[in-house]
């Protein structure tokens, strides 16, 4: 008989991929079948709860086949249940890269929007469980002359595919001409909220998140990029946008 470590490795390999790896000798087939079903159903149920739109859109057979490949092939970097969804996204990203690079017709052939849709579904959980501390800020600071502080629980997202509209009744074959720009943020009640963004507001959020400069300076840089005049009217509309960001919680205030 092999030693305990070899038995455990053979047992784990069989549970992951029973078609490719026979069970270790000396184990009752009925008992090992219980383990196979229990372990897979746990992962399948967990991922199904994290990615309900993908599950409905692919259909039960294709979804189950996808989870089985994840279960068999992917080597996770963490054993924590809240991180399994992130591991699934890594798995889908690797498959997407294989689809892009393969020239022999051996790639998985997933829907081209699958990885982005998975990220869109996952980001809701990521924002809800984010335990990053709030940075120091003045909640009543002047957002034009001060340096706006963006909430760590807000994300500006850019997708090639219209992920917020994909579902069983809408499986696009080609991406639109313009990207899908979204904001996800966590409300005070802990719920994630999504909103569509215009290109200008998306770029402004990028600037505010990356540069330690005043709201006025960021709006001036935005106007220059867009080929617009940073006149009084533009700054007034920008100031109103910054105040809306503060009211909704995307902007916390200004740096102290």
Instruction: Specify the higher pLDDT residue, 102 or 203.
Output: 203
Q: Tell me, what's the pLDDT at 205?
A: 95
What are the residue ranges spanned by the domains of the chain? Answer: 4-110, 135-254
Is a pLDDT exceeding 70 seen at residue 83? yes
Residue 21 CB contacts under 8 Å (≥ 6 apart), including other chains = 10, 13, 14
Per-residue pLDDT, averaged over 74-96, amounts to 87
Structure tokens at 106: 């051996």
Structure tokens at 170: 């809408």
- Of 93, 91, 72, the C-alpha closest to 20 is 72
pLDDT tens readout for residues 124-181: 989 999 999 999 999 999 999 999 999 999 999 999 999 999 999 999 999 999 999 9
CATH topology of domain 135-254: Outer Surface Protein A; domain 3 (3.90.930)
Q: Tell me, what's the pLDDT at 2?
A: 55
Which pTM was predicted? 0.85
Strands (E), 47-204: 148-150, 154-159, 180-186, 192-196
Q: Tell me, what's the pLDDT at 99?
A: 65
């Amino acid at each position: 008989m092999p030693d305990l470590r070899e038995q455990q490795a053979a047992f784990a390999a069989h549970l992951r991929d029973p078609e490719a790896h026979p069970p270790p000798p000396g184990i009752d087939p009925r008992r090992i079948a219980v383990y196979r079903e229990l372990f897979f159903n746990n992962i399948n149920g967990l991922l199904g709860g994290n990615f309900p739109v993908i599950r409905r859109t692919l259909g039960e057979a294709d979804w189950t086949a996808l989870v089985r490949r994840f279960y068999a092939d992917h080597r996770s970097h963490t054993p924590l249940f809240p991180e399994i969804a992130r591991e699934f996204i890594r798995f889908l990203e690797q498959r997407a890269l294989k689809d892009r690079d393969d020239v022999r017709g051996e790639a998985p052939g997933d829907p081209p929007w699958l990885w982005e849709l998975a990220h869109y579904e996952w980001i809701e959980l990521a924002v809800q469980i984010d335990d990053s501390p709030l940075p120091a800020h003045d909640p009543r600071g002047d957002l034009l002359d001060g340096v706006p502080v963006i909430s760590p629980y807000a994300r500006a997202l850019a997708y090639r595919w219209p992920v917020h509209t994909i579902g069983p009744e809408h499986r696009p074959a080609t991406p639109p001409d313009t990207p899908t720009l979204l904001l996800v943020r966590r409300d005070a009640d802990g719920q994630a909220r999504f909103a569509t963004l215009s290109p200008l507001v998306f770029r402004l959020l990028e600037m505010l998140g990356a540069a330690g400069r005043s709201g006025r300076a960021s709006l001036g840089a935005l106007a220059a990029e867009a080929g617009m005049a940073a006149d009084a009217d533009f700054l007034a509309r920008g100031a109103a946008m910054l105040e809306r960001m503060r009211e909704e919680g995307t902007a916390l205030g200004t740096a102290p």
